[in-house]
Every structure is written in structure tokens, then in C-alpha cells.
Amino acid sequence: MQALAVLVEKPQHLALRRLELVSPGLEDVVVATEWSGISTGTERLLWSGRMPPFPGMGYPLVPGYESVGRVVEAGVDSGHVVGARVFVPGSRGFRDARGLFGGASSHLVVPGAKAVAIPEHLGQAGVLLALAATARHALANAALPDLIIGHGVLGRMLARIAVAQGGAPVVWETNPLRATGAEGYAVVAPEADSRKDYRAIYDVSGDAALVDTLIGRLGPQGELVLAGFYDQPISFAFPPAFMRETRLRIAAEWKPADLDAVQAMLAEGRLSLDGLITHSAPANDATDAYRTAFGDPLCLKMILDWRACS
């Protein structure tokens, strides 16, 4: 079985290639992808070659961990039925490419346990479930953010979940083109905010150079949560952090319980995914789509449409 997939052959070299898929087993499903999302965080690092080393990292690789599609084959022990719409957070099912992420492909072979059934009406918005679960995981039953750094798609998702849980965060955004679209929270330029007593600051910018600035905006025993992905070492001046007794927490990848929680919030109407997908392109135009996703400040989330691919 073959699939048409986005392949990062080496840093800054991206192409569409036909790849051989592994044979599905009794616990696996084969998914015909309808849509996949492009991450401007991890996928930009993979494309640029700046992704820090991880077990299983290397090139060539298939990027992507935000895919929605239909089950077209279901092993008897997979727990799924043919025709179901599912969310797939990536795949390792390629013979000749690394699948550390592996979701940007016309077809995916994955264990049934990794494919999550989603409501039909969710449609292409289902690609946002990974980001929603990431935002929910960052909260970790801790203090809600009263300052969020960055009003990209992850920052907006984090703000929406905070508002749904009774919070009223402020969001810093340096690009005026991204300052719109707030619902229930305020978006301001950093220089317009003089406050220095925040209890919980959540940084989704991925900018390691901001840590000292953010520590300086915390109140006593405040917490700084690093919820972005950082390709540079994290360092900070100790005395200001010492005087505040600053707590530093790192939020890693989401867990199944986070995905369950955001699905429940969506079903109850407490969370909306509207307005976050701003761009869509046929998968055959993937090269241009990635360029737009990485370079256009008006692009919050670009998705690839695989429905015309075979």
C-alpha cells in the first residue's frame, strides 16, 4: 500500500512523495486523510533544521500530528469500524521515512488506540484538537493564566479555555495584525502593560529570550509556565527569580485525558474552535501552503485538504 505524503527530505527541502506504508495488523486501522494541519511551531523547526534532537528524529521524515480522516480498513481488534471519522495525532507507518510525527499523508496506518472517534459535524475543525488538548494540558489543574504571551492559534486556544473556566487573561501580542479576535479577554502590546504582579504567566511564544522579562512581571511566588517549544537554551538571571520565589513549570505534550476533556467542553458548548482555521490549500499545493503558514502573519492555522488525493 502506498500513500502520497509530505516529506521533509532534509532541512529546507520539502516535497510530495509516494511512500510505502507498513502492512496493518489486527489492532490497526487504515485512515484516508481528509485534512491535516500545519504547525508553525514544531514543523517550522523540522523544516528549518533547528529542531532539538529527539529519539527517532532524523530525515527524511513525514511531518504533521493533526489529521482527520475516515477509517477505510479496521482490524478486528482495532476497536473501530469502517466509515468512522477519526482524529489521528500522527503515524509511524512508513517504510522509507521517519514518522516521529507522520500525519501529513493521504493515508495513515495507526494503532486503533491512537485513532480517536470524533463527531461528524466537527469536520475540518477536528485538526485543532491537538492544540486544544495541548492548551488544556498546560493548565495542569494549576492557576489559570492571567497573562498569556502570544496571540497565535495556541495562545487563543489557551485564552478560550481559561475564559471557559472562569478566567479573564491578558494576552501580549507584538504584531498588530494578530491583535484582533479576542472574546472575553484583552489583547495588548507588551509596552502598554505596566503590571508587575501577575500570578501565572503562560508563554506560548517559544522565545527563550523573554524569560527574564516575564520573571520581572511576576508577583511574589508567581509561576511562569513555558508552554511553547524552545530551540534555544533557557536561562535567566537568578536574583530577580530568587527575590520573587518564582516557580518555573514546563508543559509537555498532551495526554488522552486532555483530549477527552476538550471534547467534553466542545460538546457542552463551553469551547469554540471558530475562527482559528484561516487558510486552506489542496495537499497537492503543500509546498506553497507551508510557505504561507510559516511566513504570513495573518495565517493562524493552515490546513491541507487531502480529499482529492489518492
Q: Give this prediction's pTM.
A: 0.93
Quick check: is 44 in a domain? yes
CATH number of the domain within which 186 lies: 3.40.50.720
pLDDT for the residue numbered 309 = 82
- List, for residues 78-120, the tens digit of each pLDDT value: 999 999 999 999 999 999 887 678 999 999 999 999 999 999 9
Mean pLDDT of 193-222: 97
User: In angstroms, rounded to a whole number, what is the distance separating the alpha carbons of residues 196 and 215?
Assistant: 9
User: Which amino acid appears at position 239 of this protein?
Assistant: P
CB atoms near residue 9 (< 10 Å): 13
When divided into structural domains, the chain yields a total of 2
Quick check: is 78 in a domain? yes
Quick check: is 269 in a domain? no
Same-domain check for residues 75 and 170: no
Same-domain check for residues 241 and 143: yes
Quick check: is 258 in a domain? no
Quick check: is 263 in a domain? no
User: In angstroms, rounded to a whole number, what is the distance separating the alpha carbons of residues 237 and 78?
Assistant: 51
User: In angstroms, rounded to a whole number, what is the distance separating the alpha carbons of residues 302 and 294?
Assistant: 9
Same-domain check for residues 98 and 139: no
- List, for residues 215-266, the tens digit of each pLDDT value: 999 999 999 999 998 988 999 999 999 999 999 999 988 999 999 999 999 9
pLDDT above 90 covers a percentage of the chain that reads 84
pLDDT for the residue numbered 310 = 58
Same-domain check for residues 95 and 156: no
- Give 192's DSSP letter: G
User: In angstroms, rounded to a whole number, what is the distance separating the alpha carbons of residues 170 and 43?
Assistant: 27
- Measured in whole angstroms, the distance separating CA 226 from the mean position of its chain's CA atoms is 14
> What residue numbers bound the domain in which 56 lies?
2-117+278-305
CATH number of the domain within which 74 lies: 3.90.180.10
pLDDT for 51 beyond 90? no
pLDDT for the residue numbered 96 = 86
Among residues 135, 140, 129, the alpha carbon closest in space to that of 151 is found at: 135
Quick check: is 127 in a domain? no
Same-domain check for residues 102 and 174: no
- Measured in whole angstroms, the distance separating CA 281 from the mean position of its chain's CA atoms is 18
Quick check: is 265 in a domain? no
pLDDT for 211 beyond 90? yes
Quick check: is 138 in a domain? yes
Mean pLDDT of the chain: 94
pLDDT for 56 beyond 80? no
pLDDT for the residue numbered 125 = 97
104: three-class secondary structure by DSSP: coil
User: In angstroms, rounded to a whole number, what is the distance separating the alpha carbons of residues 247 and 223?
Assistant: 5
